[in-house]
Amino acid sequence: MKLREFYLILTGVIFCIFIGQAQSAVSKEDIQRLIKQQEKKVVERRRHLHQYPELSNREYKTMAYICQQLDAIGLPYKKGIAYTGVVAVLDTKKPGPIIGLRADMDALPVKERVDLPFASKEESDYLGAKVSVMHACGHDAHVAILLGVAQILSNVKNSLTGKIVFVFQPAEEGAPPGEEGGAALMIKEGLFKDYGIEVMFGLHISSMIETGRIHYKPKGIMASADRFEIKVKGKQTHGSKPWNGVDPITVSAQIILGLQNIVSRQIDLESSPSVITVGKISGGVRNNIIPEEVEMIGTIRTLDTTIQNIIHEKIKITAENIAKSAGAEAEVKIVKQYPVVYNNPNLTAKMLPSLEKAAGENNVLVMNPTMGAEDFSFYAVQVPGLFYFLGARHPEIDALDATLHHTPDFKIDENSFPLGMSSLIQLVLDYQSLKKY
């Protein structure tokens, strides 16, 4: 009799555990219902952030707004990381993975030209000048989407395991000269050490990709970005007698053309695309004086470390030899800024079904790498990472007419936000199911 009672009790316990596990599962329908409830709030948050943008390392009001929203959600957080960053943690108090989700939060010195009721009218000081400020790259949407994800995951906390770390990162566009910032500074100030993040997921909204679609790529998806400075020293003379001096302007012009020959004639573009761009050149004070010096600065974009090092060496050789042939001197300085955004191949393969669940298999497409850079790359150096693009071009807008990022006309389709939320949530749910603790 006692043995029979024991088996009955044991069976009941097993049944209760089974029922509890079944009840703890979060269905796609549950998530879609919660997303539907959050849509209006996410749009509201995005419009507020869009109306009040702030430049890199100066996102103080943005930080305060994020903290206010996290208070309303009920998530604990730490603020002031890397100047204005915020890190919130959803701790389930159960064994499981520690997953990082990241949104950047800074804007750009661009004057908005889009006719919107919530268009930015903000101004700020930038490099000693008064400039207009605009969210011209969609970081307002990134923050709003991640806050929506934080709310939804908090609502289903009992069905989750481990921890989810929400990283609101400043200065993705680059810290002001002379300052540290962005992902690198968040890491330096203990993001991985303090929170134990083991995997990072992030997205970037795209005005070029149709709403409802996700673009991704295993391995290198975005280029490394390096900054170069070249100072050309000639010999100053009267503009009417150039033969009495050494003209650093004409030498600089030859160097600029020589740099383009590196990419077009000396690098195997079939194996790895590369870009060298001179973005600024300055020298001289009067129309009739050949100056002593000219300075130029630019950017190098590569997708391969070997090619990156080759280009660095060739820039140095090209500039120095062209200058020497004209009797001038060239000083070359190259600073590595952002590494390649590298999507871990194993992680990407495992999580691809998650993106397909969220968007539909036919709406998740492999893309060619882009020569743009992103400091999410620093996270993906520390732990396996997956970064992808979220389409935000209204289907009625032709791809050729899509507004470009970093321009006054940049505009995105707010109907893209639900997929942004569902894709991140699906990644969290599926990664947790893959990891057994």
Nearest Cα neighbor of 201 from 33, 430, 437, 436 is 430
Helix (H) or strand (E) holding 357: helix 345-359
Distance CA 105, CA 86 (A): 10
Question: Exactly one of 180, 329, 331, 414 is catalytic; which is it?
Answer: 414
> Is 338 in the active site?
yes
Distance CA 360, CA 81 (A): 37
Distance CA 252, CA 259 (A): 10
Q: What is the DSSP letter of 370?
A: B
The residue written with tokens 């159960």 in the block is: 94
Helical ranges in 101-239 per DSSP H: 139-155, 182-188, 191-195
Nearest Cα neighbor of 215 from 352, 339, 412 is 352
Contact 138, 403 (CB under 8 A): no
CB neighbour list of residue 155: distance below 8 Å, 6 or more residues apart: 34
Contact 163, 96 (CB under 8 A): yes
Question: Exactly one of 83, 216, 338, 431 is catalytic; which is it?
Answer: 338
Distance CA 11, CA 239 (A): 98
Residue 213 C-alpha from the chain's centroid? 18
Contact 122, 129 (CB under 8 A): no
Q: b or e along 277-293 (b: 16 or more beta carbons within 10 Å of the residue's beta carbon)?
A: ebeebebeeeeeebbbb
Q: Is residue 293 left, alpha or beta, with left meaning phi > 0 and alpha meaning psi from -120 to 50?
A: beta
The residue written with tokens 């088996």 in the block is: 7
Distance CA 264, CA 305 (A): 18
Residue 227 β-bridge partners: 299, 335
Both structure tokens of 154: 């908090």
For the chain, the maximum distance between any two Cα atoms, rounded to a whole number of angstroms, is: 116
Amino acid occupying residue 291: P
Residue 23 buriedness (CB in 10 A; 0-12 / 13-18 / 19+) = exposed
> Is 388 in the active site?
no
What are the residue numbers of the active site?
338, 414
